[in-house]
Amino acid sequence: MGDNSKKLVEEKQEFDKNGLEKAPKWQPKVKIKPWLVLLIIVLVIGFFVFLAWQSSNKEKGEVYGVTTADAEELILVNSTKTRFLEPWKNVIDGDVDGFFGTTLARVVLRNRPYAVFEFKDDKPRKISRIRIMTDTGLRKRERYFLESFSLYVANKSGNYERVLDDAIKNGGGWQTYNFPEVEARLIKLILNKPINKNWIQIGEFEVYTQSELGLDD
């Protein structure tokens, strides 16, 4: 008991000396570690180096232009895997330039990659045309360019029906495909070839309803 009260008195004196006469020194709640600062600096520099590399990785020359305003707005429902920086959402983003506009679908065990889309309002449409664009100006990507695809649609009952089975006929620019009008709630795009590579590239995919058939090929 005696020892304890002596200790308390000592502690109180110390507190009085350091705490009340001097303002307490400010200390950050989390200690900033030098290695963490260094890591953040490296990451920031790395990000800018990546941006520079990605812009230098593009070919100069042909530009395939932007998507048309009357294409239906799609959202991604589900899909197979892609390269990390080139996800399936890039195929419906209206961007036809570089990595950020491109989908690079992963081919696993020769299974055909695919993506399922629906209209933004979740309602069915009568569709009769699609457009596909493959070349977003990235170097050394020709070997991965989409060569052939299949298009399926599902109506309200959810049963898929094949609408198209077609090839990409003239390289990476925009190509238009027409088909008899069909009601679609879900649209499934399957990439068929090249299936012997690890990847298949596609830049943009558009869907049109009957009312937009004024568009020229």
- Whole-angstrom Cα distance, residue 18 to residue 15? 5
CB-nearer residue toward Ca ion: 67 or 128: 67
CB-nearer residue toward Ca ion: 15 or 100: 100
Binding segment toward Ca ion, per CB under 5 A, in 15-23, 153-161, 189-197, 204-212: 204-212
Closest residue to Ca ion, judged by C-beta, is 101
CB-nearer residue toward Ca ion: 154 or 172: 172
- Whole-angstrom Cα distance, residue 72 to residue 207? 6
Put residue 42 in one of left, alpha, beta given phi > 0 → left and psi -120 to 50 → alpha: alpha
Of 2-61, which residues contact Ca ion (CB under 5 A)?
Answer: none
Q: How many CB atoms lie within 10 A of CB 215?
A: 13
Write each residue from 154 to 193 as x if it is in contact with Ca ion (CB under 5 A), else as -, in one continuous string.
----------------------------------------
All residues at 6 or more sequence positions from 176 whose CB lies less than 8 Å from its CB, including other chains: 129, 130, 131, 215, 217
Q: How many Å separate Cα 33 from the centre of its chain?
A: 34
Token duo for residue 16: 């009085």
Token duo for residue 128: 């009769």
* Minimum gap (Å) between residue 96 Cβ and Ca ion: 6
- Whole-angstrom Cα distance, residue 132 to residue 205? 5
- Give the binding-site size for Ca ion (rule: CB under 5 A): 5
* Minimum gap (Å) between residue 55 Cβ and Ca ion: 16
Of 72-131, which residues contact Ca ion (CB under 5 A)?
Answer: 90, 93, 95, 101
C-beta of residue 115 within 8 angstroms of C-beta of residue 207: no
CB-nearer residue toward Ca ion: 118 or 204: 204
* Minimum gap (Å) between residue 127 Cβ and Ca ion: 19
When asked if residue 204 is in the footprint of Ca ion (CB under 5 A), the reply is yes
* Minimum gap (Å) between residue 65 Cβ and Ca ion: 12
Q: How many Å separate Cα 164 from the centre of its chain?
A: 25
* Contact residues for Ca ion, defined by CB under 5 A: 90, 93, 95, 101, 204
